[in-house]
Amino acid sequence: MRQILLVAPILIPLAACAITALLWQRPEVQRRIGVAAAALLFLSTLALLAEVVTGGMVVGQMGNWPAPFGITLVVDPLSAAMLVITGLMALAVAVYAMGPGAAERDRAGFQPLFHALVMGVAGAFSTGDLFNLYVWFEVMLIASFGLLVLDRTREQLDGGLRYVMLNLVGTTFFLLAVGLVYGLTGTLNLADLARVAPQVENQGALAAAAVLLLISFGAKAAVFPLFNWLPAAYHTASMPVAAIFAALLTKVGVYAIIRVFTLVFAHDQALFGPIIGVVAMLTMVVGVLGAAAHYDVRRILSFHIISQIGYMLVGVALMTPLALAGAVLYIVHHIVVKANLFLVAGAMQKVGGSFALAKLGGLWATRPLLGLMFLIPALSLAGIPPLSGFWGKLVVIRSGFEAEAWLLASVALAVGLLTLYSMVKIWNEAFWKAAPAEAAAHQPAPGEWGRMQRFATFAPIVALCAVTLTIGLWTEPFAAFSLAAAEALLDREAYIAAVLGTAPVQLAEAVR
């Protein structure tokens, strides 16, 4: 049963991708299968999380090839949490994608690509092998190219091309690093690497490989100075696509940084801690300033993804249990909130006719409920108590002060204020100010949509708001889980023992 649960998060989207591709000419059927598969994925990840919490890490050797040689899948508490949130996002976006515009999207092949993307993300979260991680990155990348240019407009092709170029450079760095690491250690299994890395003689070369990995994961995660592809591409994508990208893609990069730098390069923490700390700080500041300078809802939200990535990296920079717990809590909170903000932005565009703040206005008077559903994730993003973002920021900043990283913690505090500024800007312009004269409703109001479309647009937003409120008001279990996940991350011996056991290690030594 454990083996089935372990593979299910990869197999369910794979099957959904294959079946929807088979039904290429039947978009309506595709859509139903897509939602059903996403729901099944969410349930299976919940079961996997329960299994990890009650029975410890779940490890599987694909094809029964023993650990350092074959491909290993490993799900520890962090991976399990990421998988659950992936399932939740897949479900929310799959439902949202049934809303207005669904027919055109599905004819262009949204469903197979969407599930291929989810499969890539789930694979990246569950793999225990560096090269396999590269493969999942490629799966994600290929699917995301297709999703990005779904509408085939000039704007999208332009954004898509930049996205492709910068991401290909990033993955090339990854491949170089994989080659270097394999040359130095003779293994790519993460647990085996964690065991061997401290004994490598040429630590300089290993550190070079680590920097290459940091660059490639950093490009994925959109950290300073490698973030340019994100604002270039995200604002052109159609809304469900932008939401799933914002929720998951950069977070895979963050997850990879956390995994590799807590597990494999932990012995070099004195070198990499400060580097990651500086990167985190600059990422927070540049992202939030970029957001402050823009007046398009999608661009503002895109830049906020970047600034929030900085908070998550604080955990890896400090590498204390509390800081890592803060990172875990922050990622979970951020994914929910960020995806929700993109979904709300999509609804705002449907209602108000534009993404540009100058052309929006008066939404509070006409759509007070939408305003409320914007306020919850927006204030949570800015870190207003008692919403989920407050607790995430609190733990991150407190861990900064405890580790006496004064500058890092102060910057994190100040960036929170600037985040509030951008959110208030959207609020003032889109909801509060009087509607500009030319903003006569171009689109049919939600009242004129079908019931199905209204449900598809607003149910995911309401559900994600509820999740945000739950994390905010009932933080205790989430915080406790994050702390447990952080401790599991720092307990390298347990990870190595769970993956390798003892016999294969001797075998690996003998081969070497």
Contacting residues toward another protein, per CB under 8 A: 1, 3-4, 6-7, 11, 14-15, 17-25, 60-65, 70, 109, 112
**Of residues 67 and 276, the one with the C-beta less far from another protein:** 67
Give the HSE-up count for residue 492: Cα atoms under 13 Å, Cβ half-sphere: 20
Query: DSSP secondary-structure letter at 436?
Result: P
Distance CA 19, CA 292 (A): 44
The least CB distance from residue 3 to another protein, in Å, is 6
Q: Which amino acid is at 151?
A: D
**Of residues 61 and 269, the one with the C-beta less far from another protein:** 61
The residue with tokens 């009650």 is 54
Nearest to 379 by CA among 421, 351, 408, 409: 421
**Of residues 4 and 275, the one with the C-beta less far from another protein:** 4
**Of residues 18 and 466, the one with the C-beta less far from another protein:** 18
The least CB distance from residue 77 to another protein, in Å, is 21
The least CB distance from residue 67 to another protein, in Å, is 11
The least CB distance from residue 505 to another protein, in Å, is 18
**Of residues 24 and 406, the one with the C-beta less far from another protein:** 24
Q: What are the residues facing 74 on neighbouring strands?
A: 59
The least CB distance from residue 168 to another protein, in Å, is 17
DSSP states of 18-58 as a string?
HHHHHTTT-HHHHHHHHHHHHHHHHHHHHHHHHHHHHH--E
Distance CA 11, CA 18 (A): 10
Greatest Cα pair distance in the chain: 78
**Of residues 72 and 457, the one with the C-beta less far from another protein:** 72
Q: What DSSP element (H or E) covers 74?
A: strand 72-75
Compute and round to an integer the Cα radius of gyration of the chain.
Answer: 22
Asked if 304 and 290 count as a contact pair (C-beta separation under 8 A), the reply is no
Q: What angle do CA 287, 231, 383 make, to 5 degrees?
A: 40
**Of residues 128 and 315, the one with the C-beta less far from another protein:** 128
The span from the first CA to the last CA of the chain, in angstroms, equals 34
Length of the chain: 512
What is the 3-state secondary structure of 266-299? HHHHHHHHHHHHHHHHHHHHHHHHHHHCCCEHHH
The least CB distance from residue 373 to another protein, in Å, is 36
Other CB atoms within a 10 A radius of the CB of residue 334 amount to: 27
Q: What are the residues facing 75 on neighbouring strands?
A: 58
**Of residues 12 and 317, the one with the C-beta less far from another protein:** 12
The least CB distance from residue 76 to another protein, in Å, is 17
**Of residues 64 and 502, the one with the C-beta less far from another protein:** 64
Asked if 333 and 382 count as a contact pair (C-beta separation under 8 A), the reply is no
The least CB distance from residue 246 to another protein, in Å, is 27
The least CB distance from residue 143 to another protein, in Å, is 13
**Of residues 13 and 361, the one with the C-beta less far from another protein:** 13
**Of residues 265 and 495, the one with the C-beta less far from another protein:** 495
DSSP states of 435-469 as a string?
PPTT----S--GGGS-HHHHHHHHHHHHHHHHHHH
The least CB distance from residue 431 to another protein, in Å, is 42
**Of residues 26 and 512, the one with the C-beta less far from another protein:** 26
Q: Which amino acid is at 410?
A: S
Distance CA 23, CA 143 (A): 18
The least CB distance from residue 7 to another protein, in Å, is 4
Q: Which amino acid is at 164?
A: V
Q: What DSSP element (H or E) covers 402?
A: helix 388-402
Nearest to 193 by CA among 214, 176, 178, 211: 178
Distance CA 261, CA 30 (A): 40
**Of residues 12 and 254, the one with the C-beta less far from another protein:** 12
The least CB distance from residue 483 to another protein, in Å, is 31
The least CB distance from residue 17 to another protein, in Å, is 7
